[in-house]
Structure 1
Amino acid sequence: MTMVRNYVRATPATALIAAVCIIAWLITAVQARTLGATFYDSPLAADWGLWGPDYPFRPQAALSSEFMHLDAGHLAVNMIMLLLIGKEVERTLGTGLYLAAYFTSCLGASAMILKFDFNTPTVGASGALFALMVMLVGAYRQRGLNLRAPIALVVANVAYTFLADGVSLWGHLGGLCTGIVLSLFLYRKSPVFRWSGVVAVTAVLLAFLAQQAGVWG
């Protein structure tokens, strides 16, 4: 328990995101009455999942889908990645900026899915995780650490995305691209520049998502 308390104290945003994902999945498991593919028999999963044709009626799915998972294995892999990578990025950026960048990354992954994979139902934190992997490179660079490990992590996961079945290609690429754009701002010296960059990227993504939801256009 001491280790958990220390983790939460040091990186509260990462702990909170993981807790929301785990609690959401547990609810779907209860609703579906299984520890297997909970997504397909859960009303919460249907409400939170991202699916293009249904998106105008559930625009919150652009964010909520990143907190929903297909089954226990899907959840476990993503949470391990989140707890390891998120910890390092949050410690570097600070909790507030990290949380803003994480939510923006969720929106970026969803925007890419709606643009290029409209008819495929999608859930999972991996879109945002791809953004965090890019941010981890920036965190290592800022600390003066060897960049080979985080770069290898990004390359390996991009390769896996193209080679594996059942993963969201466009969700992963959306997160990756969002992470790259955000990293142009996140590691600048000026706090105003860092926050302004995140706000600008978020505004662009929200405008696109609003258009996709039929708010205008």
Structure 2
Amino acid sequence: MNTFLISIIAANVFFSYKGFTDVSFFRKFEFHIGSIRAGEQIRMISSAFLHADWGHLFFNMLTLYMFAPVIVVYFGSFSFLMIYIGSLLCGSLLTLYFHQNDYNYRAIGASGAVTGIIFSAILLEKGMYIFGFIPGYIYGFLYLLSSIYGMKSKRDNIGHTAHFGGAIGGYIITLSKDPAMLFENTSTVVLLAVPIVLLFILAKMGKI
């Protein structure tokens, strides 16, 4: 198994377990708009290594374990790490942008970073099928549309904004590393760009 992948999973397990057993530690490092705007920017990174429970942690790490090898094969270990961290930061930055005035907004989890890894893998692996029957590009398109809906409706506690930001990070970094994809995998690149453009149009119109 890749060293960077092992290290990321180990860090998530260690910090999440610490958060499970130490409420003050959890509160100190979770994503919290009020604290971040007060100068605690470390939370934008540390929150991505905390999880709500073992199920939340297991699902994120299992998904990472399944999709990470695709990126390692195509780009190598260091690029995998760069995409993971870049997606994590994009997820946190987009969340901060959309919730900057909601001082009580809180979030945790590696989902933003993991979503970036998924979208990078979808771009790289043309013949990818999610759950064995859904083409990767269709899954990615529908996933982003559902995230926009979740951001608009605000009917659950899922960090849709971080997921979307992570997807954007994985999308942009992957294309920057392999621009030829614009011509070799045009349909997937364009289809995944549609919800991203739509999000910012809705934001500009004040509808999200």
Q: Same fold (TM over 0.5)?
A: yes
1:43 pairs with one of 12, 20, 24: 24
Q: Which residue of 2 aligns with 1:20?
A: 11
Alpha-carbon shift at residue 176 of structure 1 (Å): 1.4
C-alpha distance after superposition, 1:191-213 (max 9, x if no partner): xxxxxxxxxxxxxxxxxxxxxxx
Percent sequence identity is 19
1:122 is matched with which residue?
107
Tell me the residue number matched to 1:71. Answer: 53
Amino acid at match of 2:144: V
Alignment-derived partner of residue 172 in structure 2: 181
Aligned to 2:137: 151
SS at structure 2 position matched to 1:57: coil
Equivalent-residue separation in structure 1 for 2:137 and 2:114 (angstroms): 14
TM-score under structure 2 normalisation?
Answer: 0.72
Shift of 1:12: 1.7
Contact 1:52–1:114 at 8 Å: present in 2 too? yes
Letter in 2 for 1:136: A
Structure 2: any 5+ residue segments left out of the alignment? 181-208
Aligned to 2:206: none
Q: Secondary structure, in 3 states, of the residue corresponding to 2:31? A: coil
- Report if aligned partners of 1:13, 1:90 keep a CA contact under 8 Å in 2: no
Q: Are 1:82 and 2:68 an aligned pair?
A: no
Counterparts of 2:3 and 2:73, CA distance in 1: 10
Provide the aligned C-alpha RMSD in A.
2.1
Q: Could you tell me whether the CA contact under 8 Å between 1:106 and 1:127 is conserved in 2?
A: yes
The code of the aligned residue for 2:111 comes to S
Separation in 1 of the partners of 2:69 and 2:114? Answer: 12
Contact 2:83–2:169 (Cα < 8 Å) also in 1: no
Matches within 5 A, 1:55-66: 55=36, 56-66=38-48
TM-score, scaled to structure 1: 0.69
- 1:53: Cα distance to partner? 1.0
Which residue of 2 is the match for residue 167 of structure 1? 158
Deviation at 1:160, TM superposition (A): 5.1
CA distance in 1, matches of 2:177, 2:123: 8
Hey, what's the Cα distance between the residues in 1 that align with 2:26 and 2:68?
Answer: 24
C-alpha distance after superposition, 1:48-81 (max 9, x if no partner) = 2111110033211111111111111211111111
Q: How many residues matched?
A: 167
1:47: how far off?
A: 2.1
Deviating more after overlay: 163-172 vs 123-132: 163-172
Distance 2:137 2:5 in 1: 21
Measure, in 1, the Cα distance between the counterparts of 2:41 and 2:85: 15
Give the structure 2 partner of residue 98 of structure 1: 80
Whole-Å separation in 2 of the counterparts to 1:146 and 1:81: 14
| Alignment-derived partner of residue 198 in structure 1 | none
